[in-house]
Structure 1
């Protein structure tokens, strides 16, 4: 009887250690907003009231986990699916459209294999004002303008798929990452390569990112696209200053210069205001320009729930004449679990 009790105690101890060495977490974000949107060619704008998903963060759910392999080495994975909170539909026709990767993590850094965020996307948020919102920030909002976004670098690919990515450890605040998406097609060369280098130490964060997309240009099927972006943020205490400058280049066509400036105002532990301005200009002789101005605020109700509001005004000019306008005012609710 005593031997049986001892054996059970030992098995329980081993099971406890094994459980401590592995963990799986279910997580997610539900984000929905209502907005009044006005857009279109000058003199022919139309107004619409919408209820959409993902005002600040894209709605998603996922599972991530780690296993301690010993010697400081860990096996890691993440499976993440996006969905539209306004109607309940899943993004794309895939099981895990946002992320699905497996990797190893240790003193050497992190290696990931699968559908993983590109190294370019990894640092783009740093200088992006109005909470890095894909909907509300001054550059992203220009997507509603005919003729392209306010910031052309928003055309970069965030997930190359079939990708391999390596991220270094931080060395005194310096780190780097490189990712490569395989085209898996012997008859074409539509692969994608990204890298970034960044410094994050104290109040200053600055990063440079680059993306090369082979044979993916808008003019010809054999045209490469190149995206370069430098952004930074500096925390002064009362405010956080943000900004960035980038360039998109198509080898056989044109190039576009982009820039943005922004500031975050933490008014209290719960309330934060953010404002930003973004612009771009095509360097192809057309003198096409895009400009966007946005202001937003978030109010934290708890550790997991917040409300937000934002307004935006954007326009597109060609040869000095405004051709298209876009504006909206909206509010939303977000919960994380």
Structure 2
């Protein structure tokens, strides 16, 4: 931390900024995580119509590799200034996840006893679903059977989060669409309600994502999303259950307009270092979109507070008209085919 403060102070002097302002940022933190391993998926459909087994490096399957900076400044009277910059990347190729440098978070804000206001870019409110997912939203998890719908980020964001009031908290935001002809085109809005107690937690998350015409025209990209769920802890066992509904009433004729997705799962702390994971997910899509069942087993083993070994395996069973992948990816099987997937690797946090 001293080194970071010195660098900030030196940079401030070189840029003509008073050193005292930089030195005041004593709580600026550099953090991150690097994840890498191997991944395999069977029955991946090839362009020629055949199927094959795909072997590749694994980086974001268990969790995103990332690095970031965050900090706060005491402004007096209980008011703080804050910022966060965070970029996700794939360790197997060393590339950022998308074109933006800070593709996960890039915001500035103010915080007081009245809550927190942030402006900029952030992860989606629906990302809070990770707390309801026994896998923590791995690639074989709650994002799989909705084709990553709950991973859409928020650019041009204005967000307000309440303080924790007896275990209850709320978050509301809008993500401006930057269209001069309409305030609704490409806009996203969301609200999240959470109640946390020592042994259980319940969450409700509702968000909407509009297309370029301001409509809900695609179930997995421009739609309304509602998620309800909770967790319950009994000694070393943590139970998970959730329901998710997607709605796209403006979809083209004959295209799916609704999906119902639910899951059950558990984490079991077998030893202080070893956590076992088990989960079941099911999705049902109307208008011929079919249905699918996803089964997942996994384990996390902590070698230390910073280094972890992980292994996950899953299978998806598709109905005749469905082609969901076993992982939240575009490596789909042919309609009606099942698929097996597995990945294992190392994660190190700093």
- Provide the TM-score with structure 2 as the length reference: 0.81
More off after superposition, 21-30 vs 273-282: 21-30
The match for 2:10 is none
The match for 1:129 is 134
Answer yes or no: is 1:151 the counterpart of 2:155. Answer: no
Q: What CA distance in whole angstroms lies between the structure 2 residues aligned with 1:333 and 1:89?
A: 18
Alpha-carbon deviation of 1:81? 1.3
Answer yes or no: is 1:204 the counterpart of 2:200. Answer: yes
Alpha-carbon deviation of 1:316? 1.7
Q: What CA distance in whole angstroms lies between the structure 1 residues aligned with 2:45 and 2:151?
A: 28
Change (3 A) 1:82 1:224: closer
| Residue aligned with 1:156, SS | helix
- The count of corresponding residues between Structure 1 and Structure 2 is 308
Give the unaligned 5+ runs of structure 2: 1-18, 252-256, 324-334
CA contact (8 A) 1:231 1:245 kept: yes
Q: What CA distance in whole angstroms lies between the structure 2 residues aligned with 1:191 and 1:198?
A: 24
Answer yes or no: is 1:329 the counterpart of 2:342. Answer: yes
- Root-mean-square deviation over aligned CA pairs: 2.6
Answer yes or no: is 1:62 the counterpart of 2:68. Answer: yes
| Residue aligned with 2:28, SS | strand
Q: What CA distance in whole angstroms lies between the structure 1 residues aligned with 2:200 and 2:235?
A: 12
CA contact (8 A) 2:40 2:56 kept: yes
CA contact (8 A) 2:121 2:156 kept: yes
The match for 2:4 is none
Query: What is the 5 A alignment of 1:131-280?
Result: 131-133=136-138, 135-137=139-141, 139-140=142-143, 142=144, 150-151=145-146, 154-188=148-182, 189-215=185-211, 219=217, 225-253=223-251, 254-280=257-283
Determine which structure has more spread, i.e. the larger CA radius of gyration: 1
Alpha-carbon deviation of 1:287? 6.3
Alpha-carbon deviation of 1:22? 4.0
Query: What is the 5 A alignment of 1:67-82?
Result: 67-82=73-88
Change (3 A) 1:293 1:157: closer
| Residue aligned with 2:337, SS | strand
Find the partner of 1:295 among 294, 297, 314.
297
Alpha-carbon deviation of 1:315? 2.4
The match for 2:15 is none
More off after superposition, 158-167 vs 47-56: 47-56
CA contact (8 A) 1:151 1:278 kept: no
Find the partner of 2:29 among 11, 25, 29.
25
- Provide the TM-score with structure 1 as the length reference: 0.84
Change (3 A) 1:303 1:157: closer
Change (3 A) 1:324 1:184: same
CA contact (8 A) 2:67 2:86 kept: yes
Q: Which has the higher contact order (CA 8 A, sep 6+)?
A: 1
